Structure 1
């Protein structure tokens, strides 16, 4: 259905415009990653809470598209655990104004299903692979699925993806020594490695103190070895992307502790329970679900989102030691 009106571009008081929606469709995950859910998944919310339905997802994506959003990332937890995951992709991709439909997955279902995801309209895919050593992979994720995930990446190229992004959280005393191995891995592969700096959330103080590696040290290593910064597009995520003439792959650095990290913020988050989150490390969230029940509520939905954007802070203040209210990254989609 075509939009009946074009709303104003979502924006805040700091002249930041929001082209990118991270949409969580579940907070359930079957992995137990050290930096996210070390004790495994535990249900959040009340017993009566349920995840966004497909019609609700359609309405929230349509509202964002009407307000200038052109990219949607479908996240979790592990989004492919939803039985209607392919339908969610198709519904998002068919929304007028949405140009990029991405997902972030742990990859365990990719080998079997990535072809149908692509046919449904998934344009970009990120896979979490925190080690190229099967034993270390098992230690970090709690799952002995390394070869299954790698087969899924191979399958993604076979079905037509020109590039796959691979997310890596490098951690001191765990997988940080694998940096040279990761770089060698992408020399002749069209993979964008995305090194994500370990972030301190409410439940992870000890882990952060023991394993945090500064993204600046990785960047300095890259620059010293001939890697060059690549220009961004308006709906790109927060990564600083580096390229090298001798490498087919790329490196993306996500460094939330940099002082000016928030100046280019262009993304908003919707939780699997239908709350708007203005920042990964922000507040309890703004309830939207009451305005997702009918299509004719879209103007009111857009107005509520824009009104709360006026309260968005200039920064997450992580560099000042603030960890916010987010208990773990799976709770609102990372």
Structure 2
């Protein structure tokens, strides 16, 4: 966290002084940070070496990680760096098609193709489906796979001017994520007389569209919108040119359920063919017991993780889990068996 203060330290037998100063500018101190580093030396070489070492360490820490930024008003703030999540851990039917499309867009030859035809080099995706089906997980995985940082906008809290400023500050290559876009991109049919939609956001749909299409929207960025309610979206928001590809994230069918079971219990370590076949049979049996298109992948994973060291226990107690009322399912799966791991 940024702070006001100073200290001395040694670097390669040289005494240096460091000072951080936060300049108060309302509620956004993050924008006004002054850092000073001084060294009593005839040469600037010491400071250059220090900066280079800091840069190398920073890049080392970013290896195999994805950096996530969120907006604080009209400014970007780094909030977390997460380990890259393998795409193999995200299971949905259109994964390969989405990955191929995004990889093709980021290819340098594709950028040249857009430039020669004076077409804006941007790409938009809409991910829709019930909660817990993997939309956010896919965003994190695809960013890690393609070495992109994620910039997340809490869009229901920003007005048109702030949104425009945020887009103007985006780097050229990044993924910008607008989660739960139905909170602002509601169709006109739903807006009229809809008292249950909650408080109105401070921006306008036209302002959002202008930002997505405008000159301040950097070339090379990937826009990802997510929603649980595609039917509520205004068609202007998701027309071709703004949204180029849509992907539905569905509740788990039998194939997905079996894949999730194997994902949890196949640890990737060398094992015998007999054990692999046993997990394959258990996965098939588990998928037969779990009703198709009723549970989200997140619900199934939550259940399986309680028995992550015992596929036999997970299979044995699934009937009771299914029979338990939805509101009690999480508590029930914890108390079904002494074999359940803590």
TM-score calculated relative to the size of structure 1: 0.31
Greater share of residues in helix: 2
Q: Which has the larger radius of gyration?
A: 2
